[in-house]
Structure 1
């Protein structure tokens, strides 16, 4: 039986900091989902919230809510961007904020040109591994009711020799959002008779919508999962650019050490951990490091592998390259294999080489294919002889160096960054490659402005919390910054949490039906892997 209730939060008298905005408001509303939390967060006197609660099955509850701040007014404005140089590529680019000296000089030049600028300080959020205090200074001109109204001013400032962008102030963290549309699912492994798993629906070389996979699996709840390739220029669309494991088999490798959701024993044992992965091919006494699983040789989306250029560290939404690259393709790769320069060896179910030659074809049933370029191609040529056995050792480890064993009922979905650790906000944004403290042109909008977000966490009772917030809807639902996402998850009582893929990928489906409002103009985005909550007897 399903139970639905509607609750309304009356306006309170306490005030909240503008830096946490809607996240603190939501904490008061959903505190009942996390009885381990000591207290509900204060409610903004201007905030109004409505929530509905539905029990989809014993141990599976979903709350859907809308939080509004009627007293908050946001407008369109023109941001004058600061010149910058990409630390990664050396290319000229533009940043949201610059130095105090730049802001003062720019503001004076704008006044001399007949404009009325304002200078705003921008502060670092409370990340664990970036500076604190003022990040930089932003220069803006005007306040406009509609985006179209701001365009003439933007064009005039551009004509005066500046670089501009039209911006919605509701995406800034300095004030609460106008409105937030939120879904929170709580799965209690002690009561739920079913499984929770990360899945790519049997083929990592495809993109599917979260709701279509959920409908096929008869899932009660489903959310989008980790980062994946979205452009042919960066690899095969749908393949993961983060660690992925499905039913105990690696479908992709980690890029550096990044946050991952580990769903052990069909979701009965869940944790969030920073994970790395290694793999090695061995032929007799000779060995070679595998740097990728089920991806195009030479292309490493989000970087983070040994030897990748221009960086061996994780860099979000950047494609690095490897000139010497050995990649393993498994039966999970259900598309034509990449072609091009190099060599490939086809292995049968026992790991013996059945052919060596040009790259291409398909992965044989139950077998594997190794593709190499550069020195990896030389290694295959020297060691992959027909009839010879090549073994592949795969290892996943956590940040303490402990090996993460994978059985048939285990899965891993990975993204970045960590949001909550040991019950505290602990966002390692720089280490996981989503911001660069030395380059404000990188990652600012991705991390520090409000965006649609998908989040996952575990509370002290071992319950899995899956949450989404819609975003990029001016005057509708604007989203969370990374810090707001962490603050919100902590307010639910989680002790561990991570950020999953967001933006246009943010999706939640209930009983196989899309439940939120994705931000892409085309509607629900086909994604890579997903997290599915599947009742017993249907998966």
Structure 2
């Protein structure tokens, strides 16, 4: 990985700073340096828990909980943003500047001096690395803050003075900080016992991988007992086709998207009779006679790889959360579950019938035949299709899914899986491989900081020692006062529920749990429940 060059903060003349001092809000915190120097261990303040329990069916139990941490005292504050260069453009003097909450000690000390010169009263706080399995320990960096305020509006007023002094700011709620326990966390937990439950558990994209639907809407349609949102998916057209998955996904035994590197997945076999958490990879190969070419995607736009993690993708072949990589030479398979218009543009496509016979070869576009498949290629992949996918010839597509220890996962019609990141618990121990799964970067500490190290709404899944499936959500972003979990807190929570293996599913505004078709949590999006890609549904037995 490359080292970054940060840019200095904007400076104002001394006379301007002096004039601004008279406009400073009076209720600013006293100056402090290295406040909050240690990562909080919220076990120091065990939460007071309040639970209600419902039994929906034999083997299906749902609990709603309120976790309160006595003594937690939080406020609104003004956080100064640090400028930093783009990760992959560090040698480019014209690289775009991004902004981070955490930076170097030198930046924090210099910024604090400038704020003090402007008549403000800053404090510098150290931020510790969470206890991930594959990142450094100790101090991650430093942030600069001004004031503690009861209301967000008071903080906004104070922020205007900091901005006028020449600094970029954001408003922060200290209850999201990893250093201190949260005030309140609203959680929902479903436990499904395959030894007692006579229904099924399955992942579903509801028949069309090129669409988004709310978790509760799918639950009502399927008359499910419990439902949660599933894996990561494309939101914007610039990143692919909205609704398509950005990690491995399989429904009714059919692989409908490929893995983004080696990332954790929830595998539900035999209709959920066996459930496990494992890091999975996928390999897909197209063959025409003796010629072969690696397929790098299923049901996505050729050349566009959300969350990266495919061989040859740039700027990274490794998983990289919420980043869209590119592939110049790309072969993509489209299945009948892709029920939208096929992507158009440069390249070639071959339409195959159910037996793999080439029906046509030509420009990209149209739709996938109901009983066939389509291969689209760009770059050298287009050349390969032109040379080998001749009309009436046969092109077969073989798919292999493996765990990281090399064991093959054979998908049958009652099997399904969803994928996200990272692993939270492994063999009963907290084991968060945050860097390996691409949700943080040890050399670029601002990347993934808010996503992983700040409390957020989260959806989690795991398996306990008895083979029971655990599905859990926590509300966040102060919905009904709930602040959410950091990744480490999510892992500890799943471990407290008895999970021996667990993973983080999609979260934030996607987090949703429906019980008997009714949404029971409070999603964080202002518009309400977010339409998502795939979901996990607990379905009653059918006569």
TM-score of the superposition, structure 1-length normalised?
0.91
Q: In the TM superposition, what whole-angstrom CA distance separates every residue of 1:444-482 from its partner, at most 9, and x where no partner exists?
A: 000000000000000101100000000011670010000
Q: Which residue of 1 aligns with 2:392?
A: 387
2:333 aligned to which of 328, 350, 364: 328
How do 1:494-505 and structure 2 match up within 5 A? 494-505=499-510
Q: Which runs of 5+ in 1 are unaligned?
A: 1-16, 25-41
Q: Which residue of 1 aligns with 2:233?
A: 228
Partner SS state of residue 184, structure 1: strand
Q: Which residue of 1 aligns with 2:67?
A: 67
- Counterpart-to-counterpart distance in 1, 2:156 and 2:364: 51
Structure 1 residue 162 displacement after superposition: 1.8
> Is the contact made by 1:337 and 1:359 (CA closer than 8 Å) also made in structure 2?
yes
- Answering whether residue 190 of structure 2 is matched by residue 169 of structure 1, we say no
- Answering whether residue 288 of structure 2 is matched by residue 287 of structure 1, we say no
The Cα RMSD (Å) is 1.4
- Counterpart-to-counterpart distance in 2, 1:436 and 1:310: 14
Q: Which residue of 2 aligns with 1:212?
A: 217
Aligned pair count reads 501
Q: Which residue of 2 aligns with 1:159?
A: 164
1:476 aligned to which of 460, 463, 481: 481
Q: Which residue of 2 aligns with 1:451?
A: 456
Structure 1 residue 394 displacement after superposition: 0.6
Partner SS state of residue 88, structure 1: helix
Q: In the TM superposition, what whole-angstrom CA distance separates every residue of 1:134-180 from its partner, at most 9, and x where no partner exists?
A: 11111100111122211232222222222211111111111111111
Q: Which residue of 2 aligns with 1:11?
A: none
> Is the contact made by 1:450 and 1:480 (CA closer than 8 Å) also made in structure 2?
yes
- Counterpart-to-counterpart distance in 2, 1:445 and 1:474: 17
Partner SS state of residue 77, structure 1: strand
- Answering whether residue 140 of structure 2 is matched by residue 140 of structure 1, we say no
Structure 1 residue 20 displacement after superposition: 4.7
- Answering whether residue 313 of structure 2 is matched by residue 308 of structure 1, we say yes
Q: Which residue of 2 aligns with 1:19?
A: 40
> Is the contact made by 1:129 and 1:429 (CA closer than 8 Å) also made in structure 2?
yes
How do 1:298-447 and structure 2 match up within 5 A? 298-447=303-452
> Is the contact made by 1:247 and 1:411 (CA closer than 8 Å) also made in structure 2?
yes
Q: In the TM superposition, what whole-angstrom CA distance separates every residue of 1:19-68 from its partner, at most 9, and x where no partner exists?
A: 353xx5xxxxxxxxxxxxxxxxx873xx4332100000000001101122
Partner SS state of residue 300, structure 1: strand
How do 1:41-190 and structure 2 match up within 5 A? 44=46, 47-69=47-69, 71-90=71-90, 91-190=96-195
Partner SS state of residue 53, structure 2: strand
Task: Decide which moves more: 451-460 or 66-75.
Answer: 66-75
- Counterpart-to-counterpart distance in 1, 2:81 and 2:369: 52
- Answering whether residue 472 of structure 2 is matched by residue 467 of structure 1, we say yes
Q: Which residue of 2 aligns with 1:193?
A: 198
Partner SS state of residue 88, structure 2: coil
- Answering whether residue 263 of structure 2 is matched by residue 258 of structure 1, we say yes
> Is the contact made by 1:295 and 1:327 (CA closer than 8 Å) also made in structure 2?
yes
> Is the contact made by 1:170 and 1:474 (CA closer than 8 Å) also made in structure 2?
no
Structure 1 residue 83 displacement after superposition: 2.2
- Counterpart-to-counterpart distance in 1, 2:487 and 2:40: 11
Task: Decide which moves more: 104-113 or 309-318.
Answer: 104-113
Q: Which residue of 2 aligns with 1:37?
A: none
Partner SS state of residue 432, structure 2: coil
Q: Which residue of 2 aligns with 1:5?
A: none
- Counterpart-to-counterpart distance in 2, 1:441 and 1:129: 17
- Counterpart-to-counterpart distance in 2, 1:20 and 1:194: 40
Structure 1 residue 117 displacement after superposition: 0.6
> Is the contact made by 2:479 and 2:523 (CA closer than 8 Å) also made in structure 1?
no
Structure 1 residue 119 displacement after superposition: 1.0
- Answering whether residue 259 of structure 2 is matched by residue 268 of structure 1, we say no
> Is the contact made by 2:175 and 2:182 (CA closer than 8 Å) also made in structure 1?
yes
The runs of at least 4 aligned residues of structure 1 exceeding 4 Å deviation read none
> Is the contact made by 1:456 and 1:499 (CA closer than 8 Å) also made in structure 2?
yes
> Is the contact made by 1:86 and 1:442 (CA closer than 8 Å) also made in structure 2?
no
Structure 1 residue 181 displacement after superposition: 0.6
Change in Cα spacing, 1:176 to 1:475, as seen in structure 2 (3 Å) is farther
Structure 1 residue 70 displacement after superposition: 5.1
Task: Decide which moves more: 156-165 or 526-535.
Answer: 156-165
Q: Which residue of 1 aligns with 2:34?
A: none
> Is the contact made by 2:45 and 2:181 (CA closer than 8 Å) also made in structure 1?
no
Change in Cα spacing, 1:150 to 1:475, as seen in structure 2 (3 Å) is farther
Q: Which runs of 5+ in 2 are unaligned?
A: 1-37, 91-95
